[in-house]
Amino acid sequence: MMQRIIGVMGGATVSDLDYQLAYELGALVAERGWILLNGGRDAGVMRASAEGAKSRGGTTIGILPTASKADANPFIDIAIVTNLADARNLINVLTSDVVVACQGSAGTLSEVALALKNGKTVFLLRLDVGSAFQEYRQKGRLIDVSTAQECVDKIAGLE
């Protein structure tokens, strides 16, 4: 069976609390033996979640918006260069089996929308998207969680 890929999306600029939450999420993803995928850059949720995964011996994939592997953060094992800027967000969500959206802004919201539109289950980790995607909440495909542990436990429940 192929290893599960967990896409962790979120902002390049986040608070210390949200950085720590993304780090913890990455660590818990790795402990489950899942692969962590993110945007690969050396900032915010991307760096934190990859660093957390590597702290537990996990495997990380970074889907970079640029044409250079040098733009990947030091915790990325597999850097995929796209030179697609924000268009790489579709690759992020299509490659992920499940998407976790952490604190972020427009880019993160675009990934939530693309994931839902393409049939993925999305977990919102302390991210308020308002009522824009209410139909997906009702279908059980958009799930609010408040801790990294709760998130990982609910992802495991999908298996």
In this prediction, residues 117-142 reach a mean pLDDT of 96
Specify the number of domains making up the chain.
Answer: 1
d(CA 51, CA 54): 5
In the structure, what pLDDT confidence band is assigned to residue 1 with cuts at 50, 70 and 90?
low
**Ramachandran angles phi, psi of 72, nearest 5°:** -75, 150
Quote the pLDDT of residue 143. Answer: 98
- The pTM for the full model equals 0.96
Place of tokens 């690969």: 40
Tell me: pLDDT of 159 over 80. no
In this prediction, residues 102-131 reach a mean pLDDT of 96
Domain span at 93: 5-156
pLDDT in tens, 3-58: 999 999 999 999 999 999 999 999 999 999 999 999 999 999 999 999 999 999 99
CB-CB contact of 50 with 38 (8 Å) = yes
CATH code where residue 146 lies: 3.40.50.450
Quote the pLDDT of residue 2. Answer: 81
